[in-house]
Amino acid sequence: MRKPLRTAALLLALLPLGLTAACGNAQVTGGGDAPFKGETIHFVVSYGPGGGYDLIARAMAKHLEKRLGATVVVENMDGAGGLLAANKVYSAKPDGLTFGIFSGQGMAGSVLGNAEGASFKLPEFGFVARVAADPRVLHVQATGKYKSIEDVRNGKGVRFASSGPGGSEHIDGTVLFPVLGIDGKIITGYKGSAETELAVTSGDADATSGTLGTRLPPIKRGEHRAVLVIGEKRVPELPGVPALSELKLDPGNAVLAKAHMTMQEMGRLVLAPPGVPEDRMAALRKAMAAVCKDPAFLSEMKKSGQPIEHLDGPQAKKVAESVLRAPAPYRALLEKSYRGQ
């Protein structure tokens, strides 16, 4: 029984060095022994078509196909602020053939907020990568009555568009309204970032929020006006827009604002089900890292306004575990968000 193993080892030792090295790299170049060669992979997008997550996933799919030797099918599954897609990926067969791209803020928020319908434990996912740490912005209709964050804070009946309880916009609204003392209401029912953007453009809502990559195009077109960067510092693309850390807040609200800014570090996560075999997870991580450094992919993302900032899976998991240690008052706000209040 052992003779074939010794024979295989001897043959491998006799292979030319260059050929041996080529076999070792086959996992991410579609080589003959790639674990995904000839397979069909399902890349789940937790929002509807047309938004930033959808654009990134569809661009990535083409490059992943070349590196994994597989067919990558993008599937949009919006609903429940991303929870439907999260549950699908979490419960999928752990063979590496299903993974998804998610809002890290929405995923962590659902855990911290004890969201009904969240049938997963975030740290148990297979963390493939964080592909972007895109800062979020609060923005309004460019021709509307609100011109600055102070106008919004002093306004009455501000209408804030949300994709629903637990969605990233809904979390922003639920946290920022009390922290900044905004008088208004969160309007739900929109399907993803494309619809919340249109709501503000058309005047059906006064404000919403989103990632910089997703919201920069309507801002550049003059349809929207950014009034706040929801983070520690300003961004080069919007030099005149203040960061949340700059606003004067009382001590209690400052703690909540700090926790919310920490949440933004979650970025856009690519997650696989728990229990994917190590060789397959390693191949996915290596392929994803290579795609995020590919000049052709980066050029495509730059043209569509989607910044890419790769962080490998284990490091992304550490960020998530840090965010899950948020203070109790912040958890209470998130619970309110998931109750739809």
State pLDDT tens for residues 240-277: 999 999 999 999 999 999 999 988 888 899 999 999 99
- DSSP of 292-306: HH-HHHHHHHHHTT-
Q: In this structure, what token pair is assigned to residue 306? A: 């989607």
**In this structure, are 260 and 321 located in the same domain?**
no
Read off the pLDDT of each residue in 39-49 and give the average, rounded to a whole number. Answer: 93
Residue ending a domain, among 238, 264, 290, is 264
Same domain, 155 and 212: yes
Of the two residues 336 and 299, the one the predictor is more confident about is 299
In whole angstroms, give the CA distance from residue 242 to residue 112.
27
Instruction: Note whether 260 and 170 are same-domain residues.
Output: yes
Same domain for 278 and 202: no
For position 154, which CATH number holds?
3.40.190.10
On the question of pLDDT at 40 being above 70, the answer is yes
Nearest residue to 168 via CA among 157, 156, 176: 176
pLDDT single digits (tens) 123-164: 999 999 999 887 899 999 999 999 999 999 999 999 999 988
Q: Looking at the structure, tell me whether residues 42 and 97 fall in a common domain.
A: yes
Q: What is the pLDDT of residues 300-316, one digit of tens each?
A: 998 887 889 999 999 99
Task: Give the range among 195-204, 218-227, 261-270, 312-321 with minimum mean pLDDT.
Answer: 261-270
62 within some domain: yes
Domain range spanning residue 155?
136-264
Would residue 330 count as lying in a domain? yes
Using the predicted structure, report yes or no on whether residue 289 has a pLDDT greater than 90.
yes
Q: Are residues 186 and 218 in the same domain?
A: yes
Tell me which range, 25-34, 102-111, 196-205, 256-265, is most confidently predicted by mean pLDDT: 196-205
pLDDT at 340: 62
Domain harbouring 126, CATH code: 3.40.190.150
Mean per-residue pLDDT, 177-186: 96
231 and 293 housed in the same domain = no
pLDDT of residue 9: 40
Q: Give φ, ψ of 267 to 5 degrees.
A: 65, -150
CA–CA dist 129, 272 (Å, integer): 10
Confidence bin at 55 (pLDDT 50/70/90)? very high
282 and 249 co-located in one domain: no
Q: What is the pTM of this model?
A: 0.74
Is residue 13 a part of any domain in this protein?
Answer: no
34 band by pLDDT with thresholds 50, 70 and 90:
confident
C-alpha 207/C-alpha 154 separation (Å) is 14
Q: Which of 248, 264, 280 is the last residue of a domain?
A: 264
8 in any annotated domain = no
Provide, rounded to the nearest whole percent, the portion of the chain with pLDDT above 90.
66
Q: Mark which of 249, 264, 279 sits at the end of a domain.
A: 264
Q: Is 125 helix (H, G, I), strand (E, B) or coil?
A: coil
Looking at the fold, whether 226 and 258 belong to one and the same domain comes out as: yes
